[in-house]
Amino acid sequence: MTHRSPNLAVLGLQWGDEGKGKLVDLLAAGFRHVVRFQGGNNAGHTVVVAGQSIALHQVPSGALHQGCFLVVGSGVLLNLGVFRQELDRLAQRGIDLSDRLLLSDKAHLILPHHIALDQGREGGAIKIGTTGRGIGPAYEFKAARMGVRLADLLHPDTLADRIRPGYEEVRLRLNNPSALPSLEAVMKELMDQAAPLLPFIGDSQGHLMEAWGRQEPILFEGAQATLLDLDHGTYPFVTSSSCSIGGLFTGTGMPPKALGTVVGVAKAYTTRVGAGPMPSELFDATGERLREAGREFGTTTGRPRRCGWFDAPITAHACRTNGVDGLAIMKLDVLDGFDQVGVVVGYRDGEGGLVKRLPACASDWDHLRPEVRMLKGWSRPTRGLQRLEDLAPEARAYMDVLSECCSTPIAYLSTGPDRAEGFTLPGSCLEGRL
């Protein structure tokens, strides 16, 4: 008989900001290693402990657990200046990572010209509403074989030759290339930023393989989410990495059998930052109320998030794509006090038919109108609840509808930002793991 691997992945199921950071922090106590495998500092994962909020962008959300070893995998992009600031901020709070951090030598760097190109494009005709952190260009140059990896920092003699082709290419594409720092200045700043980090660069794949061999449990932390995935999201309004399950394997170098359980994280409603389709979006007072009650302003850019009811077709798509074993439904408390709560169960197309399949072409989304099923709200608040038995029957009925629409059982229910606010469901894939 084969035993299921204890290793677990936490993946976003909507358009990001579902509450992955909270769940990873909670779960991390039971894991030896926590790994980021894609994305860069476009991510903003919030962890709240004893009323104190900590935003993590590139450091894995296991940071607050002294016993957790933190790994930044090969699929991640690193902005070293931002990374060092993050380490400093953690150190100021007494969180020291110096003996429990490994950065993949294959991870790519985000360089100033990537950021300039990203921001330059956003000022042009095609607006994705990116975070402006250089993510698209850095992944683009990785695919074009003009990227710079952490391993290149260990070879200062050839580093300029690695940086030059991408740098020159960006100069050609920019309207105002003279605003770019010189190649020498880019090099100097990079080497200064890198110096204290050089001892942390190493073979993350080997580290994880050995940990797996020793049966030390590994927690994989997704960033962004399936609807922002380069292949499976609402292209072209997506990020430039594989944020669904496939990215975990390419971004760590681990094989599928290393993974035992997939937990998908979704809010009890839907949000999105930036441009692109969002059929559930509410432009009225209800949308505004969700934004205020949920404090829906970006962790990374502070932008207001677009808000709407729970969108079942997109979340079901994400559950299928990732093979989700259990749902973590977050922020249920934000719906407290609503007389009625909605679930988008499908979309009406131009001919009036009900569709649940997501279009591949962005313009086809324009013809879809949400079909909303309204359910009774709950009079008893859910905020801070720690037991399923204490949930009002209407809130329980709402959870049952979400689970049914996604054909996936609920594993965790979050009722507030703090660690203590929420509970696992009996018999689920998370029972006994928190």
Active site residues: 17, 45
**Segment contacting ligand GDP (CB under 6 A): 127-135, 198-206, 328-336, 363-371?**
328-336
Q: Enumerate residues 6+ apart whose C-beta is below 8 A from 167.
A: 111, 113, 180, 183, 186
Span near ligand IMO by CB under 6 A; candidates 13-21, 58-66, 119-127, 349-357: 13-21
Query: Quick one: what does residue 128 bind among ligand IMO, Mg ion, ligand GDP, none, with the CB cut-off 5 to 8 Å set by partner type?
Result: ligand IMO
Q: Are 434 and 411 in contact (CB under 8 A)?
A: no
Got the DSSP string for 113-127? HHHHHHHHHHTSS--
Find the length of the chain: 434
Strands 218-221 and 8-12: parallel
Binding mask 385-424 for ligand GDP (x = CB under 6 A): -----------------------------xxxx-------
Contacting range for ligand GDP; rule: CB under 6 A; set: 44-52, 63-71, 133-141, 153-161: 44-52
| Only segment of 47-55, 127-135, 164-172, 318-326 that touches ligand IMO (CB under 6 A) | 127-135
State how far the Cα of 208 lies from the Cα of 203, in Å rounded to an integer: 9
Nearer to ligand IMO, 21 or 346 (CB): 21
Instruction: List binders of ligand IMO among 211-270 (CB under 6 A).
Output: 223-225, 228, 239-240
What, of ligand GDP, Mg ion, ligand IMO, none, does residue 273 touch, CB below 5 to 8 Å by kind?
ligand IMO
Neighbouring C-alpha atoms within 13 Å toward the C-beta of 254 = 28
How far is it, in rounded angstroms, from Cα 430 to Cα 424? Answer: 6
Q: What is the nearest approach in angstroms of ligand IMO to the Cβ of residue 27?
A: 16
Q: For the CB of residue 395, give the shortest distance to ligand IMO in the complex, in Å.
A: 25
Contacts 24+ apart (CB under 8 A), 241-246: 241/38, 241/39, 241/75, 241/77, 241/135, 241/139, 242/38, 242/75, 243/11, 243/12, 243/38, 243/39, 244/11, 244/318, 244/321, 244/322, 245/9, 245/11, 245/321, 245/322, 245/323
Q: Which is nearer to Mg ion, 17 or 118 (CB)?
A: 17
Query: Please, what sign has the CA dihedral across residues 334, 319, 407, 275?
Result: positive
Tokens of 284: 């009225």
CB atoms within 10 A of CB 55: 14
Sign of CA dihedral 242, 245, 246, 250: positive
Is 311 one of the binding residues for ligand GDP (CB under 6 A)? no
Q: Could you say which residues in the range 331-360 bind ligand GDP, by CB under 6 A?
A: 331, 333-334
Ranges within 271-300 binding ligand IMO (CB under 6 A): 273-274, 299
- Nearest 5°: phi and psi at 301? -115, -10
Cβ nearer to ligand IMO, comparing 143 with 285: 143
The interface region with ligand GDP, picked from 45-53, 90-98, 141-149, 181-189 by CB under 6 A, is 45-53
Cβ burial, residue 419 (10 Å; 0-12/13-18/19+) = middle
- Looking up tokens 């940071």 gives 63
Shortest spacing between CB 429 and ligand IMO, in angstroms? 22
Nearer to ligand IMO, 43 or 391 (CB): 43
Residues forming contacts to Mg ion in the complex (CB under 5 A) are 17, 44, 299
- Give the one entry of ligand IMO, Mg ion, ligand GDP, none that residue 333 binds, where binding means its C-beta sits below a cut-off of 5 to 8 angstroms depending on kind: ligand GDP
Binding site for ligand GDP (CB under 6 A): 12, 16-22, 44-46, 48, 299, 330-331, 333-334, 414-417
Binding site for ligand IMO (CB under 6 A): 12, 15-17, 42-45, 128-131, 133, 135-136, 223-225, 228, 239-240, 273-274, 299
